[in-house]
Amino acid sequence: MGSGSELHATYYGANGWLIEFGALRVLVDPWLTGPLQFPPGPWFFQGELPRSWPAPEALDLLLLTQGLPDHTHPPSLALLPRTLPVVGSTSAAARVRALGFTAVTALSPGEEHHLGDLRITASAGAPVPQVENGYLLEHPAGSLYLEPHGYLAAHLPPRALDAVITPVVDLGLPLAGAFVRGQGVLPQLLERFAPRTVLASTAGGDVRFEGLLTRWLWQKGSPAEAAAGLPAGTRLIDPQPGQRYALSGTAAATPAATAPGPAS
């Protein structure tokens, strides 16, 4: 089966994906190398990848859902050419402009952008605290919806999609409640989009977290529980980093040619 006109996705852990719409290559929220830290410092919260990834080659677009460090990760963005086109939420666009990217398009919920045959529609995503973006991506090779915190905007009309990329578990803090709402959003996504494939995101990739904040983090649900509740005709993939998954056609997975061995 040829790959020239098909939809594929490769996972990098956490929120990071490479999505291939035929020959069009879109990198989403990459965390590829180096630690992830949130203020006030590593003593409070730090994440470590089990391995580093080189930047995928021949990219056509960098797509960013949020301006937070786990979506616009500076050490990872430093691996990318500053001329690479970027589409992001308003906060993400401000971040990458400050890093020197020169072809940046900021989208607010409800706005669209076209890159070749790819239509990108921004939707209202997580309030963290400002409202960030989810995206509906439509291309002749396939279609999908993605949002990393479990939010689905009411304005997106029902339609059949090849795939959704979403958390399928809840993550939260005792006083703040769930800030990732995968369990609640999954039934909505199934009803709205009837996807053939659900790709579990956000909480995967064997990332190691440490720091004071991790003592209070809680998780509810699991990919296995989510898979058990899917309707006939829909599959759930709990993706392995570095695997390239076919989202239109068969359920085959192959080692990702764009994600070779650990970077030195």
pLDDT (0 to 100) of residue 254: 43
Task: Examine the pLDDT at 251 and tell me if it is beyond 80.
Answer: no
pLDDT (0 to 100) of residue 172: 82
DSSP labels, 97-115: HHTT--SEEE--TT-EEEE
Kind plus residue range of the DSSP H or E element containing 90? helix 90-98
CA end-to-end distance (rounded Å), the chain? 34
Tokens 């677009």 sit on residue: 61
Spatial separation of the C-alpha atoms in residues 86 and 232, rounded to whole Å:
37
pLDDT averaged over the chain?
88
Domain 7-253, CATH 3.60.15.10 — does that match?
yes
The DSSP symbol for 33 reads: S
Give the distance between the most distant pair of CA atoms in the chain: 50
Q: Checking DSSP bridges between strand 218-220 and strand 61-64, what pairing results, if any? A: unpaired
**Which residue ranges make up each domain of the chain?**
7-253
User: How big is the CA angle at 238 (ends 237 and 244), to the nearest 5 degrees?
Assistant: 65
Condensed to tens digits (0 to 9), the pLDDT of residues 169-214 reads 998 877 677 788 999 999 999 999 999 999 999 887 787 766 666 6
pTM metric for this prediction: 0.90
